[in-house]
C-alpha cells in the first residue's frame, strides 16, 4: 500500500444556490492546516489535515484533505473536523452531496485545485 491523501469534497454551489462558504467557514486560506482528529484501528496517530478552498463564483467544491495516510479497501475510517453548516435561508435542498476519495501522492502538503 502506498501513501495517499484522503479528500472530502463539499459543494460551494448547487445549481445557483450557494451552499458552503469557499473556506467552509473556517477562516483559513487554501493550503492552511486545519484541526482534525483521525483514528483507525491500525494507526491512531495524529494526521495532518489541510483546507483546499473552493469557489462559489466558479462552483469549485471546497475540500478537507487528510494528508499522507495508508488505507485499504476493507478499512473503516473515523475522523472529525469542524466546519460551519450552510446558513443560506433560501436553501431548499434536503441532501447535500459530499464526495470522498483517495489519490496517491508524495508525502507533504497536498496540491490545491488551482
Written as tens digits, the pLDDT of the chain (114 aa) is 567 788 899 998 888 888 888 999 899 999 999 887 766 545 555 677 899 999 999 999 999 988 877 766 666 677 777 777 766 655 555 567 788 877 776 544 444 443
Indicate the number of domains in the chain: 1
Residue 109 in domain? no
**What pLDDT score does 99 carry?**
82
Residue 110 in domain? no
Spatial distance between the Cα atoms of 83 and 100, rounded to a whole number of angstroms: 16
Residue 113 in domain? no
Residue 45 in domain? yes
Q: Report how far apart, in Å, the C-alpha atoms of 56 and of each of 24, 45, 51, 60 are.
A: 11, 34, 15, 7
Domain residue limits at 79 = 4-104
Instruction: List b or e across 70-89, with b for residues whose CB sees 16 or more CB atoms inside 10 angstroms.
Output: ebeeeeeeebebebeebeee
End-to-end CA distance of the chain: 28
Residue 114 in domain? no
Amino acid at each position: 500500500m502506498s501513501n495517499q491523501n484522503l479528500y472530502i469534497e463539499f459543494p460551494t454551489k448547487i445549481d445557483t444556490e450557494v451552499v458552503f462558504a469557499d473556506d467552509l467557514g473556517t477562516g483559513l486560506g487554501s493550503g492552511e492546516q486545519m484541526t482534525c482528529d483521525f483514528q483507525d484501528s491500525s494507526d491512531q496517530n495524529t494526521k495532518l489535515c489541510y483546507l483546499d478552498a473552493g469557489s462559489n463564483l466558479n462552483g469549485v467544491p471546497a475540500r478537507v484533505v487528510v494528508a499522507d495516510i495508508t488505507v485499504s479497501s476493507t478499512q473503516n475510517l473515523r475522523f472529525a473536523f469542524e466546519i460551519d453548516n450552510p446558513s443560506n435561508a433560501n436553501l431548499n435542498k434536503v441532501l447535500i452531496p459530499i464526495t470522498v476519495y483517495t489519490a496517491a501522492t508524495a508525502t507533504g502538503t497536498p496540491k490545491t485545485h488551482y
